[in-house]
Amino acid sequence: MTLAEPTYPDDLRYHDQHDWARIEGEVAIFGITWYAQDSLGEVVFYDPPEVESTVEKDATYAEVESVKAVSDVIAPLSGEIVEVNEALADAPEKINEDPYGEGWLVKVKLTDPSEAEQLLGAADYVALLG
């Protein structure tokens, strides 16, 4: 089961490689967008990064895999991982079912919150998808 219709919440910031960030001050939660999980198909494996490792904006920090393909996950912002979604180890399908909620991937302490200005709002991201 997945969210049947494309959904792009207004309170998130989007990276054009189909990743989102929910920014709360100097901390942000990252995940992949509805479009990304739909393109990938049913996620069967999520390989999370280590807590305390650093992530760099526009660089790969994790992998999600469906039955048929593996996809790199791109960091929308730079920072240090402070938490990973451990529940995905046993239930990676949450990434399909609830990509903006229970399917979140990592929580990051941002090194430069102003990088967020380079991300897209929901309307601009949707326009990008065409």
Partner 1 sequence: MRTPLYGKHLELGAKLVDFAGWEMPVQYEGIREEHAAVRTHAGMFDVSHMGEVEVEGPGALAFLQRVLSNDVARVEAGGAQYSCLCNEDGGVLDDLFLYRLGGDRYLIVTNSANHGADLAWLGRWSRQLGDVAVRDVADRYAMLAVQGPHARDVVTRTLGIELPLRMRVAAVRIGNRPALACGTGYTGEDGVELLIDPEIVPAIWAELLDAGVVPCGLGARDTLRLEVCFHLHGNDLTPERNPIEAGLGWCCAEETGFVGADAVARARREGTAETLVPFTIEGAGIPRQGNPVLAGGEEAGSVTSGTFSPSLEVGIGMAYVRTDLAEPGTAVEIDVRGKRRPARIASKPLYQPKG
* Cβ atoms of 20 and 76 closer than 8 Å: yes
State how far Cα 88 lies from the chain centre.
13
* Cβ atoms of 96 and 103 closer than 8 Å: yes
Closer residue to partner 1 (CB): 76 or 92: 92
Tokens of 100: 């903006």
| Interface pattern 21-50 for partner 1 (x via CB under 8 A) | --------------------xx-xx-x---
**What minimum distance in Å lies between the beta carbon of 117 and partner 1?**
33
The type of residue at 81 is I
**What minimum distance in Å lies between the beta carbon of 71 and partner 1?**
12
**What minimum distance in Å lies between the beta carbon of 63 and partner 1?**
7
Q: Is 44 exposed, middle or buried (0-12, 13-18, 19+ CB in 10 A)?
A: middle
Residues 67-86 that bind partner 1 (CB under 8 A): 67-68, 70
Residues that bind partner 1 (CB under 8 A): 2, 41-42, 44-45, 47, 63, 65-68, 70
